């Protein structure tokens, strides 16, 4: 096999697994990561003597190839844990994803009748219509679930979570990000059996029963183990190495601010950042298109609690609190110090420099945690903030046009590919991002 070289920009799960795939194909690896540890959005953070994740990041096993690799590199550090997640809705606790009896019990009878009637009408209309999902997320959700269910379940929560009303989000958001309600699917499956509806192009809901894989130090184990394995096999990995300049000559990328390199380039860094780093710079219309692609930031409030246990589940979603999800990693086997303590990962979407980002929302967060019976202010021993500037791509109306302009422009570089959540401006979970890294690397190295 002829020797090839690939430079990978970004050391999250996608970039690390891309490097693993490149090694399998006989390529030499140089990888640059801007942070002081590997993992990206799945990185662990050692704060005050305890490990905290940036949200809930646990390994699944439905991609057998990726799981086999991760299982091997994690070794005895891997812990198996059953999935147990909840959602707090209408003052009650339900399984997540919602089951049929949950949604039946959670909606007042008259409202439930309206929702099911609206759903039935919406499904009948799709049976006799050739249209796909609407132009924006609001019309798409109404088309999928009917107006009553949209108003009851989706509208307010989506607006509060994203800071954007569904009418200002693209319908593509529903296709890629919004999971189907498994409880609603029970009713929709009945309609399909009666040939009164047809399958729709939406994201499948989360698995109800499965085994997750974790470790005593949390999500940091997987990227650390992958990086260690790569380095032991000759890969050149560099931390604290942000990409500020990407040089090119006509149709080839020739290097970065870290030096000139020959061969192939795989980028997993945020797509707008890649565009702004190009030297010479791209045309003004491409720079403008990049400025229109935005990400939703996230802040995690990492709390040490003087309490053995705060909740029964691994994590719980909340529809009407200042936070949207709270995880307790100790329930998945995380080692917490000192004894008699646990940790909570409290996730909040935000904007940079707003009260959630700066920590000024802490009193409101503590009040909501106490109202949910998770902890009292006196039980909080310490708190830290973990920020993610590029947590979620925002599929605002019209983003498709800007994304297409950028991807079309980048196609001129025959030795460059972009992939992953941030590099492709899309919504993969950790495992799908790793699969994207592997697939794109094979295409790049074997073309």
SS3 label, residue 209 = coil
From the candidate CATH numbers 3.50.50.60, 3.40.50.12780, 3.90.1150.170, 3.40.50.460, the one assigned to the domain spanning 4-34+241-293+395-446: 3.50.50.60
- What's the chain's average pLDDT? 89
**Tens-place pLDDT, residues 105-142:** 667 888 878 888 887 787 777 666 665 667 899 998 88
Q: Domain-by-domain residue ranges, the chain?
A: 4-34+241-293+395-446, 43-96+206-218+295-393, 99-193
- Please state the pTM of the whole predicted model: 0.90
- Residue that the structure tokens 């109202």 belong to: 371
Which pLDDT does position 109 carry in this prediction?
83
What whole-number distance in Å separates Cα of residue 22 and Cα of residue 441?
6
Residues belonging to the chain: 447
Structure tokens at 236: 């050149």
| 143 against 408, higher pLDDT | 408
Looking at per-residue pLDDT, the higher value among 193 and 173 belongs to: 173
Give mean pLDDT, residues 407-429: 96
What pLDDT, on a 0 to 100 scale, did the predictor assign at position 127?
Answer: 67
8, 268 contact by CB (below 8 A)? yes
Give the tens place of pLDDT for each residue, 323-379: 999 999 999 999 999 999 999 999 999 999 999 999 999 999 999 999 999 999 999
181-239 residue pLDDT tens: 544 555 555 555 555 555 555 444 444 457 889 999 999 999 999 999 999 999 999 99
372-408 burial string, b = 16+ CB within 10 Å, else e?
A: bebbeeebbeebeebebebbbbbbbbebeebbebbee
Q: Mean pLDDT, to the nearest integer, of 77-95?
A: 87
At residue 346, the pLDDT reads 98
Domain 43-96+206-218+295-393 belongs to what topology?
Polyamine Oxidase; Chain A, domain 2 (3.90.660)
Q: Residue 358 half-sphere exposure, CB side, CA atoms within 13 Å?
A: 4
The CA distances from residue 67 to 60, 105, 139, 164, 284, in Å, are 7, 37, 38, 36, 43
Beta bridge partners, 416, equal: 265
Contacts 24+ apart (CB under 8 A), 375-379: 375/303, 375/305, 375/307, 375/310, 375/344, 379/305, 379/306, 379/307
CB 419, CB 440: distance < 8 Å: yes
Q: Can you give the pLDDT at residue 206?
A: 46
Which residues fall within 8 angstroms of residue 365, CB to CB, at 6 or more apart?
A: 301, 322, 323, 346, 348
Beta strands in 14-150 (DSSP E): 27-32, 44-47, 50-53, 79-82, 85-89, 92-95
Is 17's pLDDT higher than 90?
A: yes
Q: What is the pLDDT of residue 157?
A: 82
Comparing 4-34+241-293+395-446 with 43-96+206-218+295-393, is the CATH topology the same? no
Burial 131-156 (b: 16+ CB within 10 A, else e): eebbebbbbbbbbbbbbbbbbbbbbe
> What does the pLDDT read at residue 173?
87
Bridge-based pairing of strands 416-418 and 264-267 is parallel
């Amino acid at each position: 096999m002829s020797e090839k070289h690939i430079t990978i920009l970004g050391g999250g799960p996608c970039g690390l697994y891309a490097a693993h795939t490149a090694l399998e194909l006989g390529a030499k690896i140089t990888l640059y990561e801007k942070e002081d540890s590997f993992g990206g959005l799945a990185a662990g953070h050692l704060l005050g003597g305890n490990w905290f994740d940036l949200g809930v990041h646990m390994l699944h096993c439905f991609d057998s190839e990726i799981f086999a690799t991760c299982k091997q590199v994690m070794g005895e550090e891997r812990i198996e844990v059953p999935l147990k997640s909840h959602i707090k809705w209408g003052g009650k606790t339900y399984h997540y994803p919602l089951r049929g009896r949950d949604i039946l019990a959670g909606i007042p009878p008259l409202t439930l009748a309206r929702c099911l009637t609206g759903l039935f009408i919406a499904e009948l209309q799709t049976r006799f219509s050739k249209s796909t999902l609407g132009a924006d997320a609001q019309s798409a959700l109404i088309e999928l679930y009917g107006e009553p269910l949209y108003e009851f379940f989706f509208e307010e929560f989506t607006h509060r979570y994203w800071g954007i009303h569904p009418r200002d989000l693209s319908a593509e958001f529903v296709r890629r990000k919004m999971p189907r309600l498994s409880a609603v699917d029970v009713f929709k499956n009945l309609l399909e059996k009666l040939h009164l509806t047809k399958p729709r192009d939406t994201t499948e809901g989360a698995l109800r029963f499965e085994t997750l894989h974790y470790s005593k130090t949390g999500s940091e184990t997987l990227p650390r183990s992958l990086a260690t394995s790569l380095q032991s096999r000759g890969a050149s990995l560099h931390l604290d190495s942000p990409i500020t300049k990407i040089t090119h000559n006509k149709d080839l990328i020739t290097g970065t601010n870290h030096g000139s390199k020959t061969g192939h380039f795989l980028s997993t860094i945020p797509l707008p950042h890649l565009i702004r780093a190009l030297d010479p710079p791209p045309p003004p219309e491409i720079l403008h298109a990049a400025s229109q692609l935005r990400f939703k930031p996230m802040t995690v409030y990492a709390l040490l609690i003087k309490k053995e246990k705060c909740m029964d589940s691994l994590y719980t979603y909340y529809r009407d609190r200042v936070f949207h999800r709270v995880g307790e990693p100790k329930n998945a086997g995380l080692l917490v110090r000192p004894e008699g303590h646990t940790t909570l990962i409290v996730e909040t979407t935000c904007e940079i420099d707003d009260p959630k980002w700066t920590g000024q929302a802490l009193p409101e967060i503590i009040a909501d945690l106490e109202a949910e019976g998770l902890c009292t202010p006196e039980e909080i021993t310490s708190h830290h903030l973990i920020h993610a500037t590029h947590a979620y791509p925002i599929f605002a109306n019209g983003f498709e046009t800007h994304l297409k302009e950028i991807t079309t422009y980048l196609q001129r570089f025959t030795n460059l590919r972009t992939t992953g959540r941030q590099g492709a401006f899309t919504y993969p979970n950790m495992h799908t991002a790793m699969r994207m890294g592997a697939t794109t690397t094979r295409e790049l190295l074997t073309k």
